[in-house]
Chain A
Amino acid sequence: MDKIKNILMVGVGGQGIITASDILSEAALLDGHDVKKSEIHGMSQRGGSVFAHIRYGKKVYSPTIKTGEADVLLSLELIETVRWLSYANEKTKVILSETKIQPQTVKEYPESVIDSLKKKFKDFYLVNPIEINKQNGSHKVLNTTLLGVLSNLLEISDKSWEKAMENLVPKGTYESNLSAFSLGKKLFS
């Protein structure tokens, strides 16, 4: 594979973007790719907008994705999807977990975000987190299910995904994460 894969994960501080992006990066690495990942974190980001760029392929230079060049945009929050759209093009595949996080200072949450997005993208995967949490029996592994959805769009081996999870999820949660991942894999396959 000569073409670099660009995945942008976005959400709000505290939603678990960093761990989810670590798992993807590790899986890509285990599959033999060169990987670069860039994120902005730090305490000033608590409750703020958080993102992680993951790029993998034969040889990756920039740790950041260029404007309009994300292959996949995985978003954990509605309005964050909109905020980072400049990295997408009409071929970008969008995975969106339908969560709204409204800061204290904001009076009104913008309407019709999903409809506007649906019109723009051919590949649009909408995930209902309440449903998923019900099926997983826990809200703690939602992001793993999203990674499962994502795995359908990338050519990373199951073995590498599994090993990456084994390496990175908290002790004693591997089994629950594994089944959450399979759920996501089945959802849109």
Chain B
Amino acid sequence: MVTLTIDDKQVTVSKDATIYDAAKAAGIRIPIICHDKKLQPFGGCRMCLVEVEQMKGRQIPACTTPVTEGMIVRTSTDEIIKARKMVLELLLLKHPIDCPVCDAAGDCDLQNLTYEYQVNTNRFQDEKFNWKIDYENPLIERDMNRCVHCGKCARICDEIVSFGAYSFINRGIQARIGTEFDGPLNCEFCGSCVSVCPVGALISRPFKFKARWWSLNKVKSVCSYCGTGCQLTLGVKNNEVMTTIYDENQGFHNGQLCTRGRWGYQFVNSEKRLTTPMIRKNGKLEPASWDEALGLVAKRLGDAKGSPDSLAALVSPRLTNEELFVMKKLFKETLGCDNIDHAGGYSHKALTAGAKESLGYAGSPSVIADIKKTNLLLVIKTDAYETHPVLGFEINLAVKQHGVDIRLLSDKKGKLSKLPNAQTYVHKAGADLLLVNAIAKVILDESLHNAAAAQAIGGFSAWQQSLANCAIDQVAAQCGVDTDTIKGLARDYAAAEKALIILPTGMGYPGHGKEMAQAVINLALLTGRVGKEGCGVLILGEKNNSQGAADLAIYPTAGGKEAQAILAGCAAGSIKTLFIAGENPVVSYPNRSQVEKALDAVEFLVVSELFLTETSAKAHVVLPACSFAEKEGTFTSVGGAVQRINPAIKAIGQSRSDLAILNGLFQAITGQPAYANSAAAFLDLAATVPGYAGLTQAGLGDNGAIRAVSGTATFVPVPAAVPTSEAGKFALVTGSALNHCGTLSLYGEGPMLVCPAGYIELSREDAKAVGVKDGETVKVSSATGEVKLAVKVGSRVPKGLVFAPYHFADSSINTITSGNAITWVSLAK
């Protein structure tokens, strides 16, 4: 620790702090423009100049100068104020004074500092720049005339996002922030650059001219897209979510958001939102009152009480914990129905069936903070970045700032493959499980494992026995990864002091289910890496509350039917009533025609939804539900963080939260409501759900709390199939597109402006062989159907493999997928 004096105040800080950090700790504000706590110090703007007595009173930048013992710093002498005024005058020399029409007004560091330092005249004069403004993309407007060269956009895009869209170009007076070849912005559109821009050079186009910054009501909440659990601040005016606001002090991610969280908020106030309940009359959905709709549903559910097998529910893991809890109470406890599941019956199995059996709890043994604390990251399928982009940022930071070694085991390359010293082992499609087992086998054969720890865990010898026939040479030939590479990876993994495995899961990853989770957990258990900091396995549940749904056991637990079996039951007529809350199986579950047949066949279909989706359009009763921005409750993130969401706006139309809907049904059936409110539901939840004990909604505060996990681990033998191939056909793997999450983002204008339709990614060689060029359409056919998709040619996918995202309703990929990890498809022009 170092002690220094700033403006006559003594302050003690760690030795790697800067003067700026020390001043902040002492409650002294030093103005900054180019500094951001997430970024490496830059020292470019000279606003933070201070005087240091030991440096003969010279003016030095506080944000880049480290503290030293006994330093005497003065932050606001007359000379300093004079210097800062001049910095502002020089910045204003070129900066246009267009504050009245600038969207940053009120949230502009330059404007605020100009006001604070009373720079009302300028001793200098020069012509203003007249750079062309970039309006060529729908989300980010770039006006380089307003740029103050702080470089924050280029730095965040490089250091955290790892895309590198911006760079300083040209030199001298002509220098400015530009893109490659000075062309229009063509990036991931995460908007990180917009969030850190201290002036109005980079502004949000969807928000432009919507509201003045100071007129927005700011409400803290949690993003409702993926499972990362990013906290966000919604900017609200006139009961409308206008934008998301950057708060560098929010969440583990310091306010950083991805393309969906930043630009995907429009679904909340979408004109397409359902506003009244609807009941099918004479084959048509017609508006109805809540009493009528709920009465009808309650009667149907109540009638099914005697025959719970004829009833089933498919629930979205986008609901809050409290809602899921009431759902469970209603279906499992009150109606005695165990036919309840979420997300297609397999995408959550990694957590519910895999982790539960192997670890004793349906969750990851690791937390998000482990990413930066580990020494080696083993990422299974590179798409961790595309499913959970902000975790991708955390991985970038771990690799770049903390020197974490990153290894990727995948059937294709991805953005993480481009990180410094990243090693990607591209294997044949469907060979992941075989490879993970082979790595374990090498560790066992070479006695690199933690023998004492491993042998103390149940099932060790049976599992070891199951690997007896695993011959590395043979596996190498089957996987397309050579023996030495497999051995090298196994040795590196075993030798690392701390190692963390990241496993993305979700609707688009049928191969990443129960077995894959168990195989990687076996590997972590073998090396004694469960329950240690910076170690273990992080299973990335796809949706915002996938982890909560797993924790609350929203899946069949007493022999009930899983999603696939539920749909089969609907088609066969054994299930007569189906309640769907927030799921859109027609688009997201595999084998669309079968799903549609099942939903068309079921006697009574109730859907509680935000929109008239492809699924709710088939319902007999549609209940308009609230979005996350209209309700309170909690979500549990992939790292087990239980975080509160807060109502930012009043419910749209007559929509009700799922909690209110389920409570209403509960009351109609039992005569009394399940809970008075969401806090009461949480109280009961905390008392009954393992790991949530002691938590209260109010006690979660702004930062949330990580729920505990405990259980008894076991080694589980996981048989791995040898990857197959079909002559002349391509291996289709599905997954997530960066801009989308599930099918909800299709109602967010931002993501749709950037990525409006499905596509299929091909290697250059394959594109040539099929005779298609980038952007052209190709006919993709499999045993279950045929679909036309635009072609994206790139170097990410190897020859023989094609990739398609699953989110889109038009020409949806589930027309041709059947739920197998790999779908063999033919391509024709």
The finding on whether chains A and B are genuine partners in a shared complex, rather than unrelated, reads: no
Residue numbers of B with Cβ under 8 A of A are none
